[in-house]
Each structure stands twice: as structure tokens, then as C-alpha cells.
Structure 1
Amino acid sequence: MRQAVQEDALALMIAQGAAREFLARRATDGQGWTFCVRIGVTWLPVRSRREPLRRWASLTAVERFAQGLGVRSFLVEL
């Protein structure tokens, strides 16, 4: 699996102002949504401690997660 950002690291990057661009997109298999952060020129997905790729069942759930981290806006790729 390609690189990914853990939730704790993402929260720290947002708090420090190092992460400013975010993207919600459908998972590659079409089941659920993923949330990505742009680091340099690369979009890295968010992972959880147990799973290599964190998935949300709905875009509303992604929005609640992002809002909880302090994200003010993100792009949505359908």
C-alpha cells in the first residue's frame, strides 16, 4: 500500500498550519469515502491505527470528521 497519514499526525499538521488542502473522494472499489491531505504535490489518504485506509460510509460522516479536526473546507471528487 502507498503511504498514508495517521489521524493523530493529521490533527497535529492541521493545528500547526502545515496541512491546508483536503480532498474527499470515493474509495477505489466504490464502497464509501476516503479523506486525503495534500503534502507537497502528493495526495495522501488518512489511515486509522488498525486499517491501512480509513473509510467513511457517507460524505456527511467525512464532513463531521473534518470539522472535528478543524478543517474549514475540502474538495469533493465524485
Structure 2
Amino acid sequence: MLICQVSPWLFYGNYANTAKQDAYQTVNLRLGYEGERYDIVLWCKNLFDEEYLTYVASSGSSYSVGVDGMPQMFGLTVTYRF
């Protein structure tokens, strides 16, 4: 299990400190079997579906704009070695 923490504090997207993103954490999980000829791995990114911005900036005087972080994703990876 991997816990990613951007910062324990919030961050600002401009010099006036009006566009801000609170601190956040995402949890990624990977569980699987690794064999001699093949691997099977179940994985999840952003396990608890944390909503966050990866970029934030002010857009005028009354609001801020940002880029959403990655949503919750599940997957299966199968690897076969010849």
C-alpha cells in the first residue's frame, strides 16, 4: 500500500494567496501474485476517491480555477513471460 501526501499544509496558486488548495492525501493499493511465468495484480489508485486539485489559480476577483486530480481507478494487470 502506498500513501501519497502532497503536503501537510495547503498551497496557494498566486502571490496574493487567494487561490488555494487544502492539503490532501491519496492512497494507492496493489495486491497480487508474482510467479515464475506470470503475474496477476489487482490495483486501485485513489482508493478513497479523494477530490483535489493539482493546479489552482485565481481567475478574476471572485473565484479560482483549477485542474482536477485523478479520480478513483481500479484495474487488473496480467503479465506473462515467455
- Which TM-score applies when normalising by structure 1? 0.22
Q: Which has the higher strand share?
A: 2
Higher relative contact order (CA 8 A, sep 6+): 1
- Which TM-score applies when normalising by structure 2? 0.21
Q: Which has the higher helix share?
A: 1
